[in-house]
Structure 1
Amino acid sequence: MNTLFPIFVKMNQIQTLLVGAGPVGLEKLQAIFRSSPYAKVKIVAEQVIPEVWSFIVNQETIQIEQRSFEESDIIDKDLVIVASNNPDLNSKIRKLTIEKNILLNVADKPDLCDFYLGSIVQKGNLKIAISTNGKSPTMAKRLKEFFNEMLPEEIDETLELMQQYRDQLRGDLEYKIKHLNAITQDIVSKS
């Protein structure tokens, strides 16, 4: 059973540390910025592939330091993502993040993770996160492709209309929820 609690984080309001700037680090960086183009990320890596340098050009919210990880790198960080194939470094960072109550994701090491990066389906303002509880990223990718094809392009227009209707509704919360549920039920059943 998947016991993960799904949340959507305002990455522009927190400080993220990315350790590693190889192909996996690039993948994590791209995933963050696809969903959160104003995320605040500091990258620390001994080696930085050219694609990472190209990606961060004109990205004002990314800092990069080409050097080894230091314990002080996690100071004032809210989230840490590690893209390293160094088990000793991964364990060291795991220990530090536990001590400091910082959430951690270590690429391809589910036992070291507090959270996973799921596959994301996005159509305008609609965003759906898919998790397989770390069991099968490839299945999540296939489901992402399925939902991308299934969801109509006009979904964002529908969401805009729903917000306008919601803003005009008068009454208490229970009344609003009842009316919005009825409307969304009609919309979904007609699809």
Structure 2
Amino acid sequence: MDYLPLFFKLTHQKVLLVGGGNIALRKAKLLCRAGAHVTVISHKVCDDLQDLLDENQGTAIVGEYHAALLDDKILVIAATDDNPLNERVHFDAVERNIPVNVVDSPKLCTFVFPAIVDRSPVVIGISSGGSAPVLARLLRARLETWIPKSYGKLASIANHFRDQVKETFSTVNHRRVFWENVLQGQIAEKVFAGRDEEAARMIADKLANEDPEHQVGEVYLVGGGPGDPELLTFKALRLMQQADVVLYDALVSPEVLDLCRRDADLIFVGKKRDNHAVPQEGINELLVKHAKLGQRVVRLKGGDPFVFGRGGEELQTLKEHNIPFQVVPGITAASACSTFAGIPLTHRNYAQSVKFVTGQLKNRTTDLNFNELVHPNQTVVFYMGLHTLPKLAAKMIEHGKPASTPAAIISRGTSADQKVLTGTLDTLPQLQEEAKLPAPALIIVGEVVELHENLSWFGEEVLAQNLTPVKAEP
């Protein structure tokens, strides 16, 4: 480690900035945000920098740099394109044991400016030691997307209650557990939703009634999307990273599961045709059991938990047991798989509506309202219909849908081994009999399937990896 990360408290401290151009302006903005008293020395000071100094009680000196300007300064930055001048500033500062930064000259720096994620009072600095500042900025951009801006408010609210927490809990461990629950649970979520006053009231109530030995956890019903981990929402990822227990389905991809907290207990509760690892009632009981142990539980489902995911049934059970919960939507398979197959679900020239239908009812029948499914200018997406495809196709034709209607199967959509099989209502069942595409798979019926050949984009990516999709034309 070439540099030790430190945070300077610059409020009301005197800092010298050598240079008066745009680079100096960027550094001056950071210094002023930190509350420093900034003195600028330069032959010319740009208007924006002058305005910034005027707004923040800074000083601009037009003239020549000299070592006496370092007197009473605790920090100095050289931001000029004059190399001999930058070297003079460096040596003068080192001689006086004053930390110095020379912009874009790591060898002349005794400290460096990190890329900053500002969630004041929480501040994160990322540094490459001056070797790759662009990489540091890219990492900062990634963290910016992962860390809600409301973390600053959360930290401020927590600071307000610090003394009360110390008085309430006698041991460090009990205080740690309390703060973990506050900073990662439903109180934090209130702050992220902009409900600061409600969050503060909840902390006060928690302090008044908290029993550190008996705490109720929380359940997060999270949509894991169609399989590609990059399609997860930021909120889903954040909750997955803080869960103590994860109950996951068969449709959750290994890549998504791998993003859960490393030391979380992973419990498989998936359902496959004629093989339910844990029946739905058992899943409900597990959610209640772990929450009552004070644990944070993620119920991780493929796609969206409210689209053929039995999420409503699980929430009803949690409600009956007064267990806090929240729901994080996921990208449902119909949207993601059709997109990755180049099949728009709606199109002005082909379909003005779309229906999502389960291909198999609770009683294992396909007794659907087929009169509603055969309307023209409509796209129908069947979930869980692979094993009943011959019956579904026959019924739609029987109720008036033309046998020549384009239809497609998308197997393992959005994954590297995605395969797309196209045909018609009349031919698709036989094509699938020969191709035997595996589940999970979606069936799309409608004129929009014709667009697959021209709009397919992900398939070309798969072909480039020598993974040839199955494709049959009507």
Please give the range of the TM-score, normalised by the shorter of the 2 chains. Answer: 0.7 to 0.9
Q: Which residue in the other structure is 1:23 paired with?
A: 22
For 1:3, the aligned partner's letter is D
Establish whether residue 109 from structure 1 lines up as the match of residue 105 from structure 2. yes
Residues in 1 aligned to 2:37 and 2:140: alpha-carbon distance in whole angstroms: 26
Residues in 2 aligned to 1:157 and 1:53: alpha-carbon distance in whole angstroms: 32
Q: Deviations over 1:75-117 (max 9, x none)?
A: 1111100001212111212221111111100000000000001
* Equivalent pair of 1:71/1:96 in contact (CA under 8 Å): yes
Q: Which residue in the other structure is 1:94 paired with?
A: 90
The unaligned stretches of length 5 or more in structure 2 are: 185-240, 244-295, 297-474
Q: Which residue in the other structure is 1:138 paired with?
A: 134
* Equivalent pair of 1:23/1:49 in contact (CA under 8 Å): yes
- Alignment partner of 1:21: what SS? coil
Residues in 1 aligned to 2:2 and 2:89: alpha-carbon distance in whole angstroms: 24
Residues in 1 aligned to 2:176 and 2:164: alpha-carbon distance in whole angstroms: 15
Residues in 2 aligned to 1:114 and 1:126: alpha-carbon distance in whole angstroms: 24
Q: Which residue in the other structure is 1:57 paired with?
A: 54
Structure of larger gyration radius: 2
Residues in 1 aligned to 2:54 and 2:14: alpha-carbon distance in whole angstroms: 19
Establish whether residue 179 from structure 1 lines up as the match of residue 154 from structure 2. no
- Alignment partner of 1:27: what SS? helix
Q: Which residue in the other structure is 2:150 paired with?
A: 154
* Closer, same or farther: CA 145–180 of 1 in aligned 2, 3 Å: farther
Q: Which structure carries more relative contact order (alpha carbon 8 Å, separation 6+)? A: 1
Q: Which residue in the other structure is 1:41 paired with?
A: 38
Alignment counterpart, residue 126 of structure 1, candidates 114, 122, 146:
122
Deviation at 1:133, TM superposition (A): 1.3
Residues in 2 aligned to 1:85 and 1:137: alpha-carbon distance in whole angstroms: 18
* Closer, same or farther: CA 31–170 of 1 in aligned 2, 3 Å: closer
Residues in 2 aligned to 1:139 and 1:78: alpha-carbon distance in whole angstroms: 29
Q: Which residue in the other structure is 2:13 paired with?
A: 14
For 1:147, the aligned partner's letter is L
Residues in 1 aligned to 2:62 and 2:51: alpha-carbon distance in whole angstroms: 15
* Closer, same or farther: CA 25–164 of 1 in aligned 2, 3 Å: closer
Residues in 2 aligned to 1:4 and 1:87: alpha-carbon distance in whole angstroms: 23
* Closer, same or farther: CA 58–152 of 1 in aligned 2, 3 Å: closer
* Equivalent pair of 2:166/2:175 in contact (CA under 8 Å): no
Residues in 2 aligned to 1:12 and 1:74: alpha-carbon distance in whole angstroms: 18
* Equivalent pair of 1:166/1:180 in contact (CA under 8 Å): no
Residues in 2 aligned to 1:153 and 1:76: alpha-carbon distance in whole angstroms: 36
Deviation at 1:180, TM superposition (A): 4.0
Residues in 1 aligned to 2:153 and 2:48: alpha-carbon distance in whole angstroms: 35
Instruction: Give the count of matched residue pairs.
Output: 185
- Alignment partner of 1:76: what SS? coil
Normalising by structure 1, we get a TM-score of 0.85
* Closer, same or farther: CA 58–158 of 1 in aligned 2, 3 Å: closer
- Alignment partner of 2:113: what SS? coil
- Alignment partner of 2:44: what SS? strand
Among the aligned pairs, what percent are the same residue? 25
Q: Which moved further from structure 2: 179-188 or 23-32?
A: 179-188
Q: Deviations over 1:23-63 (max 9, x none)?
A: 111111112223x1x21111100111222123223221x11
Establish whether residue 189 from structure 1 lines up as the match of residue 242 from structure 2. yes
Q: Which residue in the other structure is 2:311 paired with?
A: none
For 1:109, the aligned partner's letter is S
Report the aligned-residue RMSD: 2.3
Residues in 2 aligned to 1:81 and 1:123: alpha-carbon distance in whole angstroms: 24
Q: Which moved further from structure 2: 124-133 or 151-160?
A: 151-160
For 2:9, the aligned partner's letter is K
* Closer, same or farther: CA 147–183 of 1 in aligned 2, 3 Å: farther
- Alignment partner of 1:30: what SS? helix
* Closer, same or farther: CA 16–167 of 1 in aligned 2, 3 Å: same
Normalising by structure 2, we get a TM-score of 0.37
Residues in 1 aligned to 2:12 and 2:50: alpha-carbon distance in whole angstroms: 24
Deviation at 1:161, TM superposition (A): 4.0
Q: Deviations over 1:115-143 (max 9, x none)?
A: 00111111242111111111111112112
* Closer, same or farther: CA 140–68 of 1 in aligned 2, 3 Å: same
